């Protein structure tokens, strides 16, 4: 997972899409854009593109976490454990 996070972040920085001035709001706006692209693919029945857009959503989330030094693997594990304990 660490390798994917690192390569994803580096490739996005190289494209000029992330820099030291990138804010949490920038990431949220990008995430919203990608989620809308998933929805558009769904409604246009472009299933192959939809999977690519879902991957984009995940990659934006990983970049967000990496940019702000969040241990996303630890957060995911905590969330999964919490979900096991839910009764809904």
For the stretch 45-69, pLDDT in tens is: 999 999 999 999 999 999 999 999 9
Task: Give residue 45's domain range.
Answer: 2-85
Domains identified in the chain, total number? 1
Give the domain CATH number at 50.
1.10.287.1080
Is the pLDDT reported for residue 34 higher than 90?
yes
Question: What does the block give as tokens for 12?
Answer: 């996005």
Question: Largest Cα–Cα distance of the chain, in whole Å?
Answer: 44
Is the pLDDT reported for residue 29 higher than 90?
yes
Average pLDDT rounded to a whole number, residues 42-47: 96
pTM of the full predicted structure?
A: 0.91
Question: What does the block give as tokens for 14?
Answer: 């190289």
């Amino acid at each position: 997972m660490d390798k994917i996070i690192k390569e994803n972040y580096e490739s996005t920085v190289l494209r000029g899409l992330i820099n030291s001035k990138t804010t949490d709001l920038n990431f949220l706006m990008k995430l919203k854009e990608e989620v809308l692209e998933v929805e558009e693919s769904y409604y246009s029945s472009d299933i192959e593109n939809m999977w690519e857009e879902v991957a984009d959503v995940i990659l934006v989330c990983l970049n967000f976490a990496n940019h702000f030094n969040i241990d996303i693997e630890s957060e995911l594990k905590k969330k999964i454990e919490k979900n096991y304990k839910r009764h809904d």
